[in-house]
Amino acid sequence: MWGVNAGLAWLAATTQLSFRPYDAQPILKAPKVPGARSDFKLVEGKHILSPKTMLELPRPGNGVANSAGDLTLVPLSQYGFDENGERICDEILSTPNLPLFDGGEAFWIDDRTIGHVRPGSDGKSSQELYAVSVEYTVDTTTVTPKSPVRVGEFPDAQLSNFKYSKSGALVFSAYVYEDRNLSSFVSEQDEKWRNRGNTALVYDENFVRHWDEYRGPKRQALFSVDLKKNKGEWTLGEEVFALQLPQHSTPVEPFGGAEDFDVSETHVLYTTKDPNVPEALHTRQNVYLAPLRPAPGSDLVRELTSGIQGATHNPVLSKDGKKAAWAEMERDGYESDRSKLVVYDIEAGVRFTITENWDQSVADLTFTPDGKSIIFTSGHNAKILLYTIPVPPTPAHSDMHLPVVIPIALTPSTLRRTLRLSPEDVEPEEFWFTGAKDKRVQGWIVRPPGLTKGKKYPVVLLIHGGPQSAWEDNWSTRWNPQVFAQQGYVVVTINPTDELTMQRYIPEFTDAIAEDWGGRPFEDLRKGWKHVLDNYEEVDGDRAVAAGASWGGYAINWIQSHPEWNFNFKALVCHDGVFDTVYNGFATDELYFFNHDFGGPPWSRRGREAAEKFSPVNRVSHWSTPQLIIHGSRDYRLAETEGLSVFNALQSRGIPSRIVIFPDENHWVLKPGNSLKWHYEVFRWFDQWVGTDKEYEGIRNAEDRASVAIAPVMTTTTKPSQLIKGFVPETFPPSCLSSFPSVAHYCVANPAHLSCHLSPLTTTMQTAEVPPPSPSFEPNDIPDAIDYTQNISTLLRTSTKRAHNAVHHSELAGKLLRGELPKNEYIYFMMLLWRVYKRARDPFDKPGAGTNIPTGVAKPSRLSLRRHRILLDTTEDAWQSTPLYRSLISAPPAGLRDYVAHLEQLAVSKDSTDNSRLLAHAYVRFYDFGSLQGSAGTGEKRASQGELLKIKEWYRAGMNEAVGDDRALKEALDVATATKDTEPSDYTSQSKVVFDDSQAPEENTYPISSVVAFVMALALAHFTLVVGGFTGARGTEKFESFVLWLRELLG
């Protein structure tokens, strides 16, 4: 007989499979690989958006409009590689532009006066304030600045983020010591700190380091000083007011800026981290209101938030100062939660949410001048749209339920913000496909310019970070798909499960990555990649590479860990990615991130299990693809050791690999010279493995045809739907939404500058698009015909493939695992199992059943309830918790209701330690290893021929011992046929099993060969499941129970 211990021992001896969780691998000598071309150069040209060209383009910052709405200040910076330096200036946007002074920071004092703060002329570290008057002629759109007039000098400190109140108060932020005394000469305190005699940093609480800096003794705080006009001259007051409580810090580091506070004529509204909870473990930020000129010793700072919320962003005040608003996340500890729009009535002291029932996140808020509406941005289908929403009447009490108010889109969902090099260029194309759980998933494809029809091009899959992020239709100087395309690659970006700005906020989509880092998102990526290969003939799947950063870098390491997914990438690039998820949970700066995404801290059972399950460090033995690793030494989000560990693992396994370290960069590579080197190394690595044509004809053709130089372009129309595509900032500038009567800003660019167009609020208002509905599944509950004239061996092989394909139809094995099958597919699978169970049992449980029992049919009533429970381990309410279960039992075929009830009884087991659905796992593993013939089948994993033959021969030997060879099985079928003839009443139920293999099956019937083959497939699949270690400590017990059941079933 064939017991499990002998079988496992035999397989271990013959296939040399390791049963240890960490497979010790020898140090291998790297194979011969193609070397990088000695003449490799980045593609350059007059009309080519090369990395160098992109890095030298002007970079506009957040525009600030004056209160009249006719002029806007936009800071611009531009780097020149020839000058090896950066030029910073401010420009007044009108037509044409007028660049102002170099360096510093500018703000509006009034509609025709600009305040400019810049380093002191005497070379000291202090900053000076200048007033610049401008004359603006509307008819000729001419802007004429007058000579700057020095107003005064600020205290010796690092000041920024200036905002002016019409009441004459200038608010700004400064890095100060604990005493928050700007008059105590901060520079002297700096010198004392630098010369303290040691370099030790001592901490009693987190953060120790954040983003790219160790936490020092200074924090940012808000201050105000009088700035008023006296006898035609602007004067700066002598007294500086500290506006915040000592434990408050604004802007919120590391990315906070002027958007973290707002001013009215009397108050400042700001957000700050909750001082009462550890910063590294919580995302909570509170919103406070404070007077601009606080009385000495007064405590007038007022908290407006509830104190139990998550993060808050972009606080704004209405023009009259009577209402405040901000974006608020509900869950503390979750940095990517949906942001709701909260309004606070300052006079009534009432707080209320006006987008509670809206399924998108809000950002970049501003009140309209009359205070009756709020304008904001929101992500939808990978585009950032502009919305407006009326402010409803203030309710009687805070947090009361309000009537549903739906925002109105001010920009059409078709508005694109992409690069155009020439009129003949191929625009980025948006595509949709059906991903995990039948959700519609979106992606982009960007083609190289000047494609030749019928020719294939190398392709790169770019994977974003976050992970709750998205590839949006916007501009970036770091991961710009256009730059990749201009080097001759077809670029594919996919927005898988977890995207916050991708679709309407659907918790089961956006939040689905939590505790499933390596699961559902990769099903989306695999299906999206297959969609691209199947539908875009210009894509050369044999010259495919992939690159990702942050979570995208983790994705690269996880794809490296799963060769059975058959992405077929020839090379990979991992930028600042995760290698060991457990270690990262301890080492990262923002600890709340790990705690949320993995269900708890890394030492908790839940957190550690989720991290271990999806940690690349546990699957290094599967790695084989050449990989480039890039890491910044000042990356404290994902420590440098993550990248070094990946490189060491690849080198130890003899896999071609290269690492690029930037000692002075953080999670992002920002310095222009470093960024250019980054692009060079990435494209050099790609070229080494997939190459592009040395004389890339598409680039050359595009250069010859180009009629527009690479420069931002604009249109003079005021209709947002007619905006020509052009360069825009990486994020939609919030201060460009500054309100003025009846208009909103639309930020685009022209050849010389970033500009803001004005459009009435009533223009082109529409609601956002809804993605196309998911396709319906066609019924698949009638099996294909089988040729019963074939011998029994061929018949078994054919029926095995048929039974298995039926379950795996439309890749539904994975859905079966999660209980997500469409009703008809789910019923079909249940019917297969039910026939094995019920049709083999019923004839012999009936009184007076014939004694001529066929040896090929079982009497599984001997199977104990315990064995059933082991085989069908599942969560307590798995069957009842899905609508599919209710649909399943609403109109079942005869006998199916009883079987479902039986499964329901088994599913409520309380003593299970393994909640996987065993049968579904078995199908997945069988499909991965291939068919019973030893071929690779249609599964994604290509097991070696030798492995498959050994498994097949072991299984066949066991089957021959338990059942007999083909002749014995044929005799069993003959006995079954005879039994059918003698006891016909036992085989006349609605769902029949055909025992006579000489005739084709009728509709809704299944031959016994299919049933037997079905059981064979399960047994073989479960065997591979066990030896692969997929069932944990109870795997052997489950397999042994399955073997006993199989033996009983087959007599």
Radius of gyration of the chain (CA): 34
* Backbone phi and psi for residue 620, each to the nearest 5 degrees, phi listed first: -60, -30
In the chain the first and final C-alpha atoms are separated, in Å, by 13
Dist. CA 398–CA 350, nearest whole Å: 5
* Backbone phi and psi for residue 986, each to the nearest 5 degrees, phi listed first: -75, -10
Residues 167 and 266: beta-carbon distance below 8 Å: yes
| Cα–Cα separations (whole angstroms), residue 912 to 908, 917, 1028 | 9, 11, 21
Classify each residue of 114-142 as buried b or exposed e, where b means 16 or more C-beta atoms within 10 Å of its C-beta: bbbbbeeeeeeebbbbbbbbbebeeeeee
Residues 758 and 719: beta-carbon distance below 8 Å: no
Dist. CA 164–CA 292, nearest whole Å: 11
Residues 464 and 414: beta-carbon distance below 8 Å: no
Q: Helix, strand, or coil here: 699?
A: helix
* Backbone phi and psi for residue 606, each to the nearest 5 degrees, phi listed first: -65, -45
Q: Helix, strand, or coil here: 397?
A: coil
Q: Which of 550, 645, 735, 909 is catalytic?
A: 550
Residues 679 and 40: beta-carbon distance below 8 Å: no
**Catalytic status, residue 810:** no
Dist. CA 226–CA 350, nearest whole Å: 31
**Catalytic status, residue 550:** yes
Q: Which of 667, 679, 921, 1022 is catalytic?
A: 667
Contacts for 130-138: CB closer than 8 Å, 24+ residues apart = 130/101, 131/234, 132/100, 132/101, 134/71, 134/92, 134/98, 136/70, 136/71, 136/94, 136/112, 138/70
Dist. CA 407–CA 373, nearest whole Å: 10
Q: Which of 498, 516, 597, 635 is catalytic?
A: 635
Beta strand pairing call for 490-495 and 457-463: parallel
Q: Detail the DSSP E strand segments found in 391-538.
A: 408-409, 429-434, 440-446, 457-463, 490-495
Residues 333 and 592: beta-carbon distance below 8 Å: yes
**Tokens, residue 464:** 């974003």
DSSP 643-657: HHHHHHHHHHTT--E
Classify each residue of 1-33 as buried b or exposed e, where b means 16 or more C-beta atoms within 10 Å of its C-beta: ebebeebbeebeeeeeeeeeeeeeeeeeeeeee
**Catalytic status, residue 635:** yes
Q: At what angle do helices 1008-1027 and 945-962 cross, to 10 degrees?
A: 120
Dist. CA 464–CA 499, nearest whole Å: 10
Alpha carbon dihedral 1001, 1004, 1005, 1010, in 10-degree steps, equals 90
DSSP tag of 740: B
Residues 419 and 727: beta-carbon distance below 8 Å: yes
**Tokens, residue 726:** 């052009």
Count of CB atoms situated within 10 Å of the CB of 101: 16
For residue 771, the Cα-to-chain-centroid distance in whole angstroms is: 18
Instruction: Give catalytic residues, as residue numbers.
Output: 550, 635, 667
